[in-house]
Amino acid sequence: MKPPPFDYHRPASVAEAAQMLADLGDDAKVLAGGQSLVPMLSLRLAYLDHLVDISRLVELKGVERSGDVVRIGAGTTEATVERDQLVAEAVPLMARATPFIGHAQIRNRGTVGGSIAHADPAAEYPAVVLALDAEAEATSPRGTRTIAAEDLFTGLWSTALDDDEILVGLRFPVWTGRCGFAIEEFARRHGDFAIAGAVVAVEIGEDDLVKRCGIGLIGLGSTPLRATAAEDQIIGRPVGEVTGDELGRLATEPLDNVPADLNGSAVYRTHVGAAMVARAWDKASSEARNGTNTGANR
Amino acid sequence: MSDERVQLTINGRTWDTVVESRLTLADFLRERCGLTGTHLGCEHGVCGACTVMVDGDAVRSCLMFAVQADGTEVTTVEGIAEPDGALSPVQSALRECHGLQCGFCTPGFVVSITALLRDNPDPSDDEIREGLSGNLCRCTGYQGILKAVRMAAGDGEGDHAAEGVEPTTAVSS
C-alpha cells in the first residue's frame, strides 16, 4: 500500500500555511499528525496533489488558561493532552476521553486539531467539543474567525472550515460549580473505533436541579452528534429523578441515520448507544452530586 | 512528483539523502537504509509491527512520511541492543519468557516496551496491557510478552529467570 504521489510543503508559520492553502486551492490538504490522513492516502481513499505539513508549527502547540477558558492549540498532540495537568483539572472530559483514542503510539503523533478537522463521527474529541460547547479558531489569509462547536460538523468527514482555513485552536469553557463528566464506549477491542459511545457533561445547582447538560454521541450518525433534545428534556429536573435508562432512550430516539456495518446493525448500535449514554450519565451525575470533580471547581 | 531532501539520524548514524515525498518512514528504513528489522504488517496503523522511536516517542513508521522525519533522531529495533550486540534487558526478557515465536511482531513490541519502561519503569499489569494494546501478536500469545515486560521492569516475575531455568522450547500452535 503506497500513497499516491503528492507535493510536500512545510511552511514555517501558520500565516504562510494559510496562504499556501489559498494559492493551491482544493487539491491541497493540511497534514497534521497524519494518523487518519496517512492511512486514508495509503488505502487510496484520498488523492491529493499537495500536502501542507503543519505538524512542526510551534505556534499551534500548547495549553493555556485565561479566566474561564482553556485554549488548546490545534497542533497539540493527544499524548500531551493526556498528560497535561491543566487539562485534567479544568477540562476533565478531554483528559478522560483521550485514552480512548487509538493507542499510545497513535496519540504520540495525533493532534487535537487533526481529530476535530477530520470530523470522524466515531471519534472522541468531536463529541467532547460538542458536549462542552467549545469553540474552534480558524485562520485564513482573510483573518481569524471563531466557529461554535454546533456549527462545526457539516457532514461525513466534513467541517465548516473553508479550503484555505486552518484550525489553529480550540477554546473550552471551564465548567465550574457542581459538575460531573464521563465518557463510555463499547468497542470490540480497546483502541478500535467504538461501535457506539457517549460523553456526558452535567452541572447541577445547589437545589439538585439539572442546570446544564451536554451529551455527545459517538459512532451514531454520519457526523459527530449532540443529543440536544434529550438535554432539553432534563434541564430543570431534579438530578435524582433522571435515570440513565431514560436519558439513553431520550438521546437515541431521535437518531435516524445510525451507521450499520459488519460490527453491528443500526438497531444494535442504537441499543449500545443508549446503554453508553446511561452509563455515562450515571457516572457524571454521581460525580456532580458527590462533588468529587474538585478540579473544575477551582 | 516532488523529491525532498532529508537529513536525519538513525540509530546514531547520520543520513542525508533525497526521498520521494510519498515514501513512508517505514519503507525508507527498510528499502533505503537496509534496516529490515522494522516490519510492515497492515501498513495503515493498526498492527504496530512498524513501531520505531522518533525523537524518543514510539510512533508508527507507516503513518509518517520519511520527509517528516527530517531533522529527527530515529531509533529502530536495530538500535536497541548494546553496541557490542548484547541484548537489551527487554530483548533478553522476551527471549527468556517465550515472548516471541515467529518474531514478526517482535520488533514493534521491543520498541514499544522499551519506550513504555523508560516512561514508566514500574508499570502495573493494566498499564502494561494498555501500553502494548497497539501491538498485535498473532502466534505467541500475550502472556509471555506480559511476563517479559514484568521481568524487564525488574520485578523478577519472569518465571524462568528467578529459577535459572532454560527458556521454554517453542511448540508449534
pLDDT digit string, tens, across residues A40-70: 999 999 999 999 999 999 999 999 999 999 9
pLDDT tens for A118-144 read: 999 999 999 999 999 999 999 999 999
| Residue A77 C-alpha, separation from nearest chain B C-alpha, in angstroms | 12
pLDDT tens for A25-48 read: 989 999 999 999 999 999 999 999
Average pLDDT over residues A143-159: 96
pLDDT tens for A196-255 read: 999 999 999 999 999 999 999 999 999 999 999 999 999 999 999 999 999 999 999 999
Distances (CA, A) of A211 to A176, A177, A199, B38: 12, 10, 17, 53
Strands across the sheet containing B51-54: B13-20, B3-10, B73-75, B51-54, B57-60
Taking a C-beta distance cutoff of 8 angstroms, is the pair A252, A270 a contact?
yes
DSSP symbols for A46-100: ---SEEEE-TT-GGG--EEEETTEEEEETT-BHHHHHH-HHHHHH-HHHHHHGGG
CB contact under 8 A, A105 and B20: no
Residue B100 has pLDDT above 70, yes or no: yes
Q: What's the sign of the alpha-carbon dihedral B153, B159, B161, B166? A: negative
Residue A293 has pLDDT above 80, yes or no: no
B22 chain-A contacts, CB cut-off 8 A: 2-6, 41
Secondary structure, 3-state, chain B: CCEEEEEEEECCEEEEEEEECCCEHHHHHHHHCCCCCCCCCCCCCCCCCCEEEECCEEEEHHHCEHHHHCCCEEECHHHCCCCCCCCCHHHHHHHHCCCCCCCCCHHHHHHHHHHHHHHCCCCCHHHHHHHCCCCCCCCCCHHHHHHHHHHHCCCCCCHHHHHCCCCCCCCCC
Residue B160 has pLDDT above 50, yes or no: no
Average pLDDT over residues B15-40: 98
What ipTM describes this predicted complex?
0.92
Residue A151 has pLDDT above 90, yes or no: yes
pLDDT tens for B40-62 read: 999 999 999 999 999 999 999 99
Q: Which residues of B touch A (CB under 8 A)?
A: 1-2, 4, 20-22, 24, 27, 43-45, 48, 51, 57-60, 62-65, 67-68, 112, 116, 130-131, 133-134
d(CA B116, CA A24) in angstroms, rounded, equals 41
| Residue B73 C-alpha, separation from nearest chain A C-alpha, in angstroms | 15
pLDDT tens for A238-255 read: 999 999 999 999 999 999
CB contact under 8 A, B44 and A42: yes
pLDDT at B158: 45
Residue B165 has pLDDT above 70, yes or no: no
Does residue A7 belong to the interface with chain B, where contact is any CB pair within 8 Å? yes
B43: alpha, beta or left, given left = phi > 0 and alpha = psi -120 to 50? left
**Helices A266-290 and A244-252 sit at what angle, rounded to 10 degrees?**
140
The pairing of strands A50-53 and A7-9 is: parallel
Taking a C-beta distance cutoff of 8 angstroms, is the pair A50, A29 a contact?
yes
Residue A298 has pLDDT above 50, yes or no: no
Residue B134 has pLDDT above 90, yes or no: yes
CB contact under 8 A, A4 and B22: yes
CA atoms within 13 A on the CB side of A62: 6
pLDDT tens for A71-123 read: 999 999 999 999 999 999 999 999 999 999 999 999 999 999 999 999 999 99
Average pLDDT over residues B117-135: 96
CA angle at A288 for the pair A285 and A293, rounded to the nearest 5°: 125
Tracing cell 528489522 back to the chain, one arrives at B37
Helix (H), strand (E) at residue A37: helix A37-42
CB contact under 8 A, B22 and A104: no
Average pLDDT over residues A171-186: 97
Distances (CA, A) of A77 to A57, A61, A184: 12, 8, 22
Closest residue, chain B, to A37 (C-alpha): B63
pLDDT at A191: 75
Which of A1, A7, A104 is closest, CB to CB, to B134?
Answer: A104
